Structure 1
Amino acid sequence: SSVTPNTGSTQGGTMLNINGNYFSTSTRYPLVVKVGNQPCTILSSTTTIIQCQTPVAPSSSQNQYQG
């Protein structure tokens, strides 16, 4: 499994690719991805990849943060 890229802008908008296995595709159990304890907007997902757009970082974060 992997997450790319591993850093992003504090302004948000970074497209994350999360690769793995057995991600849910059920609407009964929707996926939730958080970055810096903020929701990452899911743009697409399959059982092996999730693509989401990162949120703006909380004001306490001044530089790049881990994605």
Structure 2
Amino acid sequence: MAGDTDSIVLEHLRRIRASQERTELDIADLKSRVSGLEQVSGQMLAMLGSLNQRMDRFEDRLGRIERRLDLVET
């Protein structure tokens, strides 16, 4: 009787260990994916910052053109 109980407990422990190993692999995969997303988001933020600077310069240039052509009231 005790042998049956021991084998049942061992079988459950093996299943728990296998499940834990799968979970660890999933977590490692998720960590690498998040790391990749962080890199991409950092690059996107740098690009957006550059685009914002260019738009600001265009806005300044357009303002100067409008003033020279007297298209806006000063």
Q: What is the TM-score of this pair, normalised by structure 1? A: 0.19
By relative contact order (CA 8 Å, sep 6+), the higher-ranking structure is 1
TM-score (ref. length: structure 2): 0.18
Larger Rg: 2
Q: Which has the higher strand share?
A: 1
